[in-house]
Structure 1
Amino acid sequence: MILAVLHSEELRELCSMFGYDSELDDLKRTVFTIKSVLLDTESKQQELTHGGRDYIERLKDAVYDVDDLLDEFNTMVQKTKGMKGGKISKKVRRFFSRSNQFLVAYNMSHEIKNLRSKLDKIAKDRQQFGFSDVYVPLKRREETMSFASEDNIIGRETDKEAIVGMLIGDSECSNDVDFVTIVGIGGLGKTALAQLVYNDSTIEKAFDLSLWVCVSEDFVVEKIFQKMLGGKDGSKIEELQKEVRKLIQGKKFLLVLDDVWSESRDEWDSLKSFLNLGGTGSRVVVTSRSKKVARVAGDNLMYELKGLSEENSWNLFKRLAFEQGKEPMNSVDRFFDIGKEIVKKCVNVPLSIRVVGSMLYDQDESKWLSLKSVNLMEIGEGDDSIMPILKYSYYHLTPALKSCFSYCALFPKDFVIEKQLLIRLWLAQGCLENPHDCRSEEDVGEEYFSILLHRCFFQDALKNICGEMNFCKMHDLIHDLALEVAGKETIMCDSLKEKFDKRIRHLSFTVNGYNLLASTCTQLSEMKKLRTFFRVVEWKSRNLFELNLTIICSHLRQLRVLHLSRCISDTLPDTVGNLFHLRYLDLSENRSLKVLPNSITKILNLLVLNLDFTGVTELPHDMRKLVNLKHLSIIYCFHLRHMPPGLDSLTNLDMLTMFVAGDETCNQRDRVVMWQYEEVELIRLAPLKYLTIEFSDQGAAIHETLLTGLQPHCRLLDISIQKYRGFKLPLWAESLTISLPHLVRIHLVNFNCLTILPSLSQLRHLKSLMLEGISNVEFVESDGVVVPSENQLTFFPSLEELRLHELPKLKGWWREETNKVTGDAGASSVVVPSFPCLRDLVLRRCPHLTAFPSCPKLISVELFDVHEALTLAGSKTLVPNNPTTGLVLHLKKLVIDNVGSLDCLFGESLGGIQWLSIECFEGESLSNVAEKHARHISSVEIMDLRNCSNLNSLSGVVNHLTSLQSLTIMDCKNLVLENNEQVVNVMLWKSLHLLSSLTLNGLPTLSNLPKGFQYFTSLESLNIHHCENLEALPEWLNCLTSLQNLSIHECYKVKSVPEAIAHMPSLKTLNLIRAGEELKKRCRKPDGEDWPKICHIPHISFEY
């Protein structure tokens, strides 16, 4: 961005007005030199002295100052562009004259001269610290070899077998030579795995010839040929080609290309054309950190390498950290627990474990304890440390991608990062290069995200229903790398009470539940260089945090990103208009925020405004002044009455999440303006991908007229229409297969007057359908399909998720008489097409629905308040057109809420269910159902029992739950878990030998934990909440040898903790929430009577 503004015509005219043309040219040259110097410093980070690091900070500060000044100038130019007529120079003079800012213009020109002098001086100092404006390539990694001792590699047996299977198994490809790519982050052991495979005896017998080439960043066909020929130098490429052809032609060969970085299809194609000379069954193994390499090489066989298992990580660590035969076997040895914590920090990455384990060999306990508290990235020295290995991937990124990656240091470890949020943050910070083609900056952001994902900087990517990547995470080590390369510019903290360097540029915090202290406000006011102020909000967190926004808006003038989710009490100060550098403003989930100050429209650079889940009643009248606005999000702004006039002038707006058509409080003029925008501009801004239309409380005729004019572009993927009161749909909505054939998701909510829905079953791409609050519809499809019985119907060919909520009159999918077919004997029967791909089904409050089509691939079913005679597994009166019998053949999850009978839900095909949730069940005895269907519940791993008033015993249930891992029992008022006089009940609990999580909530009959619970040796988490008659925790509690988390919530009769808790070394967390006064007193640190029993627990929480 700096270079773009420096070359702008407007800046040159401004400097010309005051005779600073030459200063501007000098500034361009200096900025170019500094850019080259900064590139050179990156490759010398490990060798920098304190003075060198300080020099880099001064250099970056100067560049930021240039950016700020030019951004200020650019903002002024934007104001002039709003004036009508005249050449640019006249506009500039008129603007400064009219605004009485001639002095400002002079000062800005003078500042350019001063900045140029300052930058020149700093740039000249580069040689003093050994920096150059000529980029020196990074030192290459050492070449790898094919040999490896199998004894030194632990935990890769399964991976080796998988790769060997790919190499010697039958190929599904038509090529003579197949490529198998091993992909993963640095340090996972890709080369070691390839070495294991290369030296495997099965492989040696399967191939005529085996070759190993370490490629690294030099993907040059000539060099690869030289290495294939044993390092032969000096030959011309034609001679090398002849010799390689002679070497491999007709032979079944194995070639390993280790550490490959090239993603160029041309380079790969030139190599592959020669390798195809090999015999049938030849294979090429490629190791790389980039998934794109796998795609270019041929990703039909890609193996994504993961970390070691916890067991193998510990075994590898023991081998390196302890003398053979002296490894600790259990927690009695003081090194055992310390070592376990250290290994945990290594996040199952073999390289990390090797570095740490080798350092600790033959060291005393103090060294171990110090290493336990050190950041993993600080461990090791020089090339033997972890950081250089990971940085190698970073150095291969372009400067723009480096900026994008380092900015990710804002997020905490294990944080789920939303892709669109990340791209908008990059955009706000100017990290995205201006595209030189027809693409938008957002398209560039999508490309950058994809590159970082394919190169393993991101992982665990999640797709939305439309098939687009929506979320991702960062591996812990990659996150450490981001923190390292971000340096002192970026701080991520848990509390704003910490002391910060005034020079930081980007600040994120996860603080919860308190107001800022005066000292903290003072500290914030001094952080004048801050460009990012970002509150990280975890999805599960609902905590509010009140912030003094006057401090921020008055002092932090350089902000580009201001993220204030759940931070505002009720108002935004007028001084927000002073933040003219601001690009990104997030005010979401501030529900008490009613009004935005009109001064917000002074922020001409604003690109993103997020008002989701706020209480705003109207948008500022002058919104049309935000000419750069790209994204306006107003999801769930239920109090917003209408849209402001002039939105059609926001020609850069490419995302508007909702359009409020207005209500009776709007004047007629506003309504006309908004209608024009809806009818014309919504289509003009096509092609939209996502569209939500929510109607206000007008009459049916207005709704029908509005919806007719709101026909979206035919490329729409996702549509949501809410609160529609029309009696009929417009033509485009009735024939969606023609008007919107690419729809992937449909969400129709609160259609109170409609009696006939549009035909949906022929939408070939539809994956998700939700119908909610449609009061008068009796059948989903108005017409049936009459076909010969032997034909298959095309019926929702791609639908995976179906939710029917509150359809009180729904009787079925269609009227049976319209779907009759005639068989061979002339008898009529009913054709019921099946859902071929449906995986998730939710039926809530559909009391008259008694039959449902077959779903052979169904995995999850949730039923709430449905007819007890609902047929889920097909009916004898119905003839499925799919030979697969049964609706729930592959069912894994079943949620039942307020259903009268359970028998109808358990058919012959209900085997293998893993998650069973039963709520508000008042039918027959659950024990009887369990006895009758024991084989169906023996596979259950997660069980939830909630508000089952007739449930009084589990004695006939638990003995069948042999696979159970998680059990939650809540608000079952009459349940008695154990009769103390019946020993047989004690032994029944032994069946739950795999149970790892147990929650007991709202059980008034529970006075003591059943003795049988002592057999839960796999239990890791025990939560007891709202059991008001629980008298004490048992002395056998230490029998729960795996217990890590214990939570006691509002059990007021519990007066103390047992002595047994002092002998539970595995216990890591103890939560005593709203405990009785006596228990709080006894557990108080340091003089409480029970404190010695619990002081060994690392995390103790008291919440009152």
Structure 2
Amino acid sequence: MAEAAVSFAVETLGNLAIQKVAFLQGVEGQVNWLKDELKRMQSFLKDAAEKGADDERIRNWISDIRELAQEAEDVVDAFLLNVENPRRSRGLLGRCACFPQHIYHLDRLGQEIESIRVRLQAIDVSRQRYGIQDLGGGMNLSGRSEDGGKRQLTPWQKDKHLVGLERDVEKLIERAVLEKWEGLSVATIVGMGGIGKSTLAREVYNHAAVATRFDCRAWAVVSREFNPREIIKSLMLQLVKQEKQREMLEIMEKSDLQNVKNMLHQELEGKRYFVVVDDVWQDEAWESLAPAFPDEDKASRLLLTSRIQGIAKYARYNHKMNFLNLDESWELFLKKAFIDNINSKCPQHLEDIGRAIVEKCDGLPLAITVVGGLLVKKRASMSEWQKVLKGLESHSGSSEILPTLELSYHELPPQLKSCFLCLGFFKEDSIIRVSKLVNLWIAQGLIQQEGIEGEEKITREEIATSYLDELINRNMVQVKEMSTSDRVKTCYVHDLLHDLSIKKAKEEISFEILREGSSRSLDKARHLAVYCSAERSISGNSNTRLRSLFIRGVGIADEIPSYWKSFGRLRVLDFEDFEVTNLPDSIRALTWLRYLGLRNTSMKELPMSLGCLKNLEVLDIAKNNGIEVPNVIWKLAKLRCLYMSQIKCKLPLRMDTLKNLQTLKYIPSHNWSPEHATQLTSLYILSIDLGENLDIGELCTSLAKMENLVSLRLIGSMERNVRSLDQLANLNRLSKLKINYRVGKLPSASNFPPYLSYLKLYSSFLREDPMPVLQQLPQLLYLNLVLDSYVGHEMVISRDGFPRLRVLSLNSLSMLKNIQLERSAMLELNRLEIIGCPLLESLPEELRFMTNLKELKLETTPQLASKLQGVNSHIISNIPSVELIISEWHGPSTELALTAALLFIRGIHKED
């Protein structure tokens, strides 16, 4: 396929025609013609791919389209690089002087487009000769389905669609956890990719028998890119208390690998632990990690998952994964293909075709899941289902799952194809921040914003989010973490689908991966991921075609070499998590850069030449505490997102020119002036660090002038109380508020923003019950009280309180003992989460009368669990989905707690 390459080119041409129209002066018609013609050719590529499987002529036709689209993109970029920068950098006389040069480049652009036009016409003639047709279909540019229907979002976090694993879970619990083996015992789960090894391990990891039996638990992913330091760091972050994590990380960064292993060994000594080591690819990887786990008389357990059979030699118990039988396969298929059908029933006229499709998946859960996600969009069309079956039959006899997954990729609309390919830019098994993914898609030019007649124009961020939702619906991306307000925060990709994204990206958009010791030429790559030290890998390579560069390896570079200036057309440069201390002054040459990712890099300072990046839209320097930032941010007029942590600057940052800035996280209050409120006209997300002498009232008064500000986070010192928050009422456009500091007292309900729908209090240490105030907020939908935001013993929610609240989350309220809930309170509540409240004695009886309550997530003690199993079972028996997590605790009630948890865990209720 070449649709992704065409999408990149069409977006580039569209930007030229719309944003740079003043430069075109006579060739704008040619530019628009080329854009429209490429879009027209894109509509034929789906049919060409179907016919090209066995026809080399058609495969060559697809390749011609791809090369021509990439050449069109190069021609446009070369024109802009040659023309736009001189005009920007000079005054009136300078622009007049370079006018003849502009005419020359304009004439050259016209000639090159004419050359492309002639070739494109020849390609179109051959298309007709080969009988390639416009199949149409897919999504329009707004991200909405063409049938006009509303997206059907998958309830990712609620229904995991486990099929055929119940017996495996029981067997592993019995043989790998409860078996009375002394000392450290290793168990393994072995099977091919996509068969459900990690899913099974996760079920065991979260099982009540594990939660109650062990002092601590942790989970690490190994994957093909084995990095023992990062794996141990991940484990340690799960094992040590939050207040010790920063110190621990600093020590680990300065220690050699052996000392890092010793740290893990010491942390686990004397404890009964349960650790999952997921996705082990090599014997050597496990042999390197094994000494870090102490073998004591504590009956600790290690669970390994792997595709390689040889890993079983390390285990006392080896669990081999089996394929699903036909009945189990059909059950899983129905749950995936008919997710919006309560009974998951297949229409009778489709059942024979559906069963034939399932049979072709050979009992492999990932294949069934992805094909089921594909058919969600096919509604009840027999012809569409038959096409899917035909596609699967064309790969009959293949021993690999990739052709089956490739069929789902083939069925994606062009926009989603391009977005899916970008998933290969991330490391295998990465946890991907949605905000970063959306910004990368936009920086790559994949999100086209077009007005829809009769509808309000939606933002590029909203379009990108809808694309991600669609990939999730099709089971090609998995959700990792949801926010309290039901937004996807992080996601991940199964490694087989990750392999597919890399394979197709190499074919379609000239993506390359450079590993240590590779001698491959990079002169043809348009997108590059480097998995080794920057100094050793990029040295000597010059590539004017390169659009994206990701440093994904492990290493340290004191300074990025100056020869990077050869990458003049680079749009994305990402160093996240790669330790580099300085950017060279030659960064000024990357004038086409849209995304610069420097998060968590140990960067000490930014160069003054950063101000030359006139096209930069996203600058991410978060998690580089103390980084020196020069006063050049104001020069980045196109900046949309600025992510920072604690920064240093010799002068207050000037920002009055940032009219396009939408997200600012975060900024010290001494860098914020009242004038910013009228200057940053597009800002709608702001995090601000409150200084010692900041007047909250003055701040709120200035913020009230910001017409687009909808989300605000206030961060302050934990050691002192912040003065009155009564001026919050001035923020009458604000819908989302996070308060992250010690608060003496909440203002009255009338002094909160009138349209507030989301409120999070974090470490506020309120001594008075906040509920009498908060329950009066008329528009509040989501309330999240976190980490001792309230330090009292009792919480009372009165009659008719919280009239619209949908989600209530109480997290880490260490002093809370009792929750009183009066009748008719929180009538709209849909989800209740109570986590990390160890003193809580019971749940309110009134929960049983709340008919809209669909989900309860409760982290509880063994005593409360046993109480729920007994006299209080009626409280939660009518809630459709209940997840009980037993705290890691030991004592005489452990077995009783096990019984209680097994009755209720994951929504399985004991009948009254």
Establish whether TM, by shorter chain, passes 0.5: yes
Asked if 1:750 corresponds to 2:742, the answer is yes
Indicate conservation of the 8 Å contact 1:618/1:642, yes or no: no
* 2: CA distance, partners of 1:351 / 1:574: 61
* Counterpart position of 2:441: 426
Q: Kindly provide the amino acid, as one letter, of the partner of residue 467 in structure 1.
A: D
* Counterpart position of 2:370: none
* 2: CA distance, partners of 1:127 / 1:903: 73
* 2: CA distance, partners of 1:913 / 1:395: 37
Pairing 1:187-202 to 2, within 5 Å after superposition: none
Which residue, 757, 768, 771 being the options, matches 1:779?
768
* Counterpart position of 2:639: 629
Q: Quote how far apart the aligned CAs of 1:263 are.
A: 4.2
* 1: CA distance, partners of 2:811 / 2:35: 60
Q: Quote how far apart the aligned CAs of 1:483 are.
A: 4.2
Q: Kindly provide the amino acid, as one letter, of the partner of residue 576 in structure 1.
A: I
Q: Quote how far apart the aligned CAs of 1:582 are.
A: 0.9
* Counterpart position of 1:692: 687
For residues 856-890 of structure 1, give each alpha carbon's deviation from its aligned partner in whole angstroms, at most 9, with x where no partner exists: 986544247xxxxx66338xxxx9988989xxx97
Which residue, 896, 905, 909 being the options, matches 1:935?
896
- Select the structure of larger CA radius of gyration: 1
* Counterpart position of 2:95: 95
SS at match of 1:691: strand
RMSD value over aligned CA atoms?
A: 5.8
Pairing 1:676-691 to 2, within 5 Å after superposition: 676-681=674-679, 684-685=681-682, 688=684, 690-691=685-686
Which residue, 438, 461, 465 being the options, matches 1:442?
461
Q: 1:907 to 1:451 in 2, by over 3 A?
A: closer
Asked if 1:599 corresponds to 2:599, the answer is no
Indicate conservation of the 8 Å contact 1:36/1:133, yes or no: no
* Counterpart position of 1:660: 668
* Counterpart position of 1:404: 419
Indicate conservation of the 8 Å contact 2:546/2:570, yes or no: yes
* Counterpart position of 1:464: 483
Q: Quote how far apart the aligned CAs of 1:411 are.
A: 3.8
SS at match of 1:431: coil
* Counterpart position of 2:727: 732
Q: Kindly provide the amino acid, as one letter, of the partner of residue 95 in structure 1.
A: R
For residues 891-937 of structure 1, give each alpha carbon's deviation from its aligned partner in whole angstroms, at most 9, with x where no partner exists: 742279xx9x9999999548999433347xxxxxx54455xxx5344
Which residue, 48, 67, 73 being the options, matches 1:64?
73
Of structures 1 and 2, the one scoring higher in RCO (CA 8 A, sep 6+) is 2
Unpaired stretches in structure 1, ≥5 consecutive residues? 84-90, 140-215, 218-260, 266-290, 318-330, 359-376, 538-542, 663-670, 786-791, 820-829, 865-869, 920-925, 942-961, 966-1104
* 2: CA distance, partners of 1:379 / 1:798: 45
* 1: CA distance, partners of 2:564 / 2:623: 22
For residues 374-429 of structure 1, give each alpha carbon's deviation from its aligned partner in whole angstroms, at most 9, with x where no partner exists: xxx99985698788876676566654444333333434565544333222212111
* 2: CA distance, partners of 1:804 / 1:530: 46
* 2: CA distance, partners of 1:338 / 1:904: 35
* Counterpart position of 1:567: 578
More helix by share: 2
For residues 253-281 of structure 1, give each alpha carbon's deviation from its aligned partner in whole angstroms, at most 9, with x where no partner exists: xxxxxxxx98425xxxxxxxxxxxxxxxx
Asked if 1:802 corresponds to 2:785, the answer is yes
* Counterpart position of 1:554: 565
Pairing 1:295-694 to 2, within 5 Å after superposition: 309=164, 354=359, 381=394, 399-411=414-426, 415-436=430-451, 438-454=457-473, 457-460=476-479, 463-474=482-493, 479=498, 482-483=501-502, 485-488=504-507, 489-491=509-511, 493=513, 495-500=515-520, 502=522, 503-508=524-529, 511=531, 515-516=533-534, 518=536, 520-522=537-539, 525-535=541-551, 545-546=556-557, 549-550=560-561, 553-590=564-601, 592-634=602-644, 636-637=645-646, 639=648, 643-645=652-654, 647-662=655-670, 674-681=672-679, 684-685=681-682, 688=684, 690-694=685-689
Indicate conservation of the 8 Å contact 2:866/2:900, yes or no: no
Q: How many residues align?
A: 660
* 1: CA distance, partners of 2:151 / 2:802: 41
For residues 829-859 of structure 1, give each alpha carbon's deviation from its aligned partner in whole angstroms, at most 9, with x where no partner exists: x99989997764334565xx77654599865
Pairing 1:29-68 to 2, within 5 Å after superposition: 29=33, 32-33=36-37, 36-37=40-41, 39-45=43-49, 46=53, 47-49=55-57, 52=61, 55-56=64-65, 58-68=67-77
Q: 1:501 to 1:55 in 2, by over 3 A?
A: farther
Q: Kindly provide the amino acid, as one letter, of the partner of residue 72 in structure 1.
A: L
Q: 1:397 to 1:757 in 2, by over 3 A?
A: same
Q: Quote how far apart the aligned CAs of 1:624 are.
A: 2.0
* 2: CA distance, partners of 1:655 / 1:793: 30
Q: Kindly provide the amino acid, as one letter, of the partner of residue 710 in structure 1.
A: L
Q: Quote how far apart the aligned CAs of 1:804 are.
A: 4.2
Q: Kindly provide the amino acid, as one letter, of the partner of residue 95 in structure 2.
A: F
For residues 133-171 of structure 1, give each alpha carbon's deviation from its aligned partner in whole angstroms, at most 9, with x where no partner exists: 9962349xxxxxxxxxxxxxxxxxxxxxxxxxxxxxxxx
Question: TM-score w.r.t. structure 1 length?
Answer: 0.49
* 1: CA distance, partners of 2:467 / 2:904: 44
* 2: CA distance, partners of 1:338 / 1:804: 40
* Counterpart position of 1:1045: none
Question: TM-score w.r.t. structure 2 length?
Answer: 0.58
* 1: CA distance, partners of 2:122 / 2:319: 47
Q: 1:747 to 1:964 in 2, by over 3 A?
A: same
* 1: CA distance, partners of 2:790 / 2:38: 66
Which residue, 142, 147, 161 being the options, matches 1:264?
147
Q: 1:891 to 1:30 in 2, by over 3 A?
A: closer
Indicate conservation of the 8 Å contact 2:34/2:117, yes or no: yes
SS at match of 1:649: coil
* 2: CA distance, partners of 1:605 / 1:908: 65
* Counterpart position of 1:917: 887
SS at match of 1:653: coil
Pairing 1:769-918 to 2, within 5 Å after superposition: 769-772=760-763, 774=765, 777-781=766-770, 801-805=784-788, 810=792, 840-843=809-812, 853=820, 860-863=834-837, 872-873=841-842, 892-894=858-860, 909=872, 914-918=884-888
Q: 1:122 to 1:770 in 2, by over 3 A?
A: same
* 2: CA distance, partners of 1:341 / 1:51: 41
* 2: CA distance, partners of 1:740 / 1:25: 43
Indicate conservation of the 8 Å contact 2:788/2:813, yes or no: yes
Q: 1:496 to 1:421 in 2, by over 3 A?
A: farther
* 2: CA distance, partners of 1:460 / 1:568: 28
* 2: CA distance, partners of 1:123 / 1:338: 57
* 1: CA distance, partners of 2:721 / 2:490: 37
Q: 1:485 to 1:132 in 2, by over 3 A?
A: farther
Q: Kindly provide the amino acid, as one letter, of the partner of residue 431 in structure 1.
A: L
Unpaired stretches in structure 2, ≥5 consecutive residues? 1-10, 139-143, 169-188, 193-308, 313-317, 334-354, 364-389, 824-830, 877-881, 907-912
For residues 309-348 of structure 1, give each alpha carbon's deviation from its aligned partner in whole angstroms, at most 9, with x where no partner exists: 479999xx9xxxxxxxxxxxxx99x9xx99969999x999
Q: 1:25 to 1:54 in 2, by over 3 A?
A: same
Indicate conservation of the 8 Å contact 1:410/1:492, yes or no: no
SS at match of 1:95: helix
Q: Kindly provide the amino acid, as one letter, of the partner of residue 772 in structure 1.
A: S
* 2: CA distance, partners of 1:890 / 1:28: 55
Q: Quote how far apart the aligned CAs of 1:729 are.
A: 1.9
Indicate conservation of the 8 Å contact 2:690/2:715, yes or no: yes
Q: Quote how far apart the aligned CAs of 1:129 are.
A: 6.4
* 1: CA distance, partners of 2:771 / 2:872: 31
For residues 762-786 of structure 1, give each alpha carbon's deviation from its aligned partner in whole angstroms, at most 9, with x where no partner exists: 9997665334154xx531449789x
